[in-house]
Amino acid sequence: MAALKKYACKLLFITILMIIMSSCSTVPMLHVNYRTPDITDQLKGKRVFLDVRDVRSDKEMMGSGAKEDFANISETISLSVAEGNDKGFKVGIFTVTDLMKEVFKERMKGLGLDVVTDISSRGQEPTVIVDIQTFKLDKITGTVKRTWTAKMAYSVEISGNGKTLASNRISGESEKLKILSRKEADSLMSDLVTDLVNRLNVEALFKEAGII
């Protein structure tokens, strides 16, 4: 009888463990792989404070169509960073705001900038403010095909001494046919984030601001 109880307890433990592991493995997550442009030293020696703000009117990053595939998803994203076509490395898991802060930090560091993000380390350097206006993944289901859609928009402002010195706004959207899995969604959002962030002409913005 004791052996039977011991076996039953062991079986119960294994069953509970399998349920926990199964539930964890089924929680989906969006994966973004940001690819930086070639590293340069064009802005080496310059220091800026980076502030990224979430000003989206719609705070949900998933539309109703995308939620069908990303059921029970949390509002976090896995971020990897790669240089060019390299495989890259995983940076971590972030909210939309913190993810974009990491991406823009990598973008500016690649130009040689000393980027400060900690408010306690802030000095008299110019401030780069990035306002995330749109960040959305969705899926359109037609009679024949299903299509992933992605939209993103942000504005950038450089300020110093209480004045706006330069500003710009960049937006875009893209789509990709859904064939098998959520990987097409990862690829779509990765390409859109990479394209729109790298499209920002940081050097031109700094010249407009009179920093260089």
Q: How many domains does the chain have?
A: 1
Q: Does a structural domain hold residue 14? A: no
pLDDT confidence of 25, banded at 50, 70, 90? Answer: very low
Cα–Cα distance list, 159 to 117, 128, 210 (Å):
15, 7, 11
pLDDT at 11 over 80: no
Q: Does a structural domain hold residue 55? A: yes
- Mean pLDDT along residues 34-39: 92
**Domain CATH number, residue 159:** 3.40.50.10610
Task: Tell me the per-residue pLDDT of 183-210, one tens digit each, with 9 for 90 and over.
Answer: 899 999 999 999 999 999 999 999 999 8
The pLDDT, as a whole number, for residue 102 is 97
**β-pairing, 47-54 with 163-177?**
unpaired
pLDDT at 7 over 60: no
- Mean pLDDT along residues 167-191: 90
Going by the DSSP 8-state scheme, the letter that residue 62 receives in this structure is B
Residue 80 amino acid letter: S
pLDDT averaged over every residue in the chain: 86
The pLDDT, as a whole number, for residue 143 is 66
Task: Tell me the per-residue pLDDT of 90-107, one tens digit each, with 9 for 90 and over.
Answer: 999 999 999 999 999 999
pLDDT at 112 over 90: yes
The pLDDT, as a whole number, for residue 22 is 40
The pLDDT, as a whole number, for residue 26 is 56
Question: Which of 32-36, 57-61, 139-143, 167-171 is the least confident region?
Answer: 139-143
pLDDT confidence of 56, banded at 50, 70, 90? Answer: very high
CB count within 10 Å of CB 121 equals 9
Q: Does a structural domain hold residue 9? A: no
pLDDT at 108 over 80: yes
- Mean pLDDT along residues 73-78: 87
Q: Does a structural domain hold residue 201? A: yes
From CA 37, how far away is CA 206, in angstroms rounded? 18
The pLDDT, as a whole number, for residue 4 is 46
Q: Does a structural domain hold residue 3? A: no
Q: Does a structural domain hold residue 4? A: no
Q: Does a structural domain hold residue 1? A: no
Q: Does a structural domain hold residue 22? A: no
pLDDT at 12 over 60: no
Sheet holding 30-36, edge to edge: 30-36, 77-83, 89-94
Q: Which residues of 10-31 are buried (b: 16+ CB within 10 A; e: fewer)?
A: eeeeeeeeeeeeeeeeeebebb
| Structural domain range at position 139 | 28-209
**β-pairing, 30-36 with 77-83?**
parallel
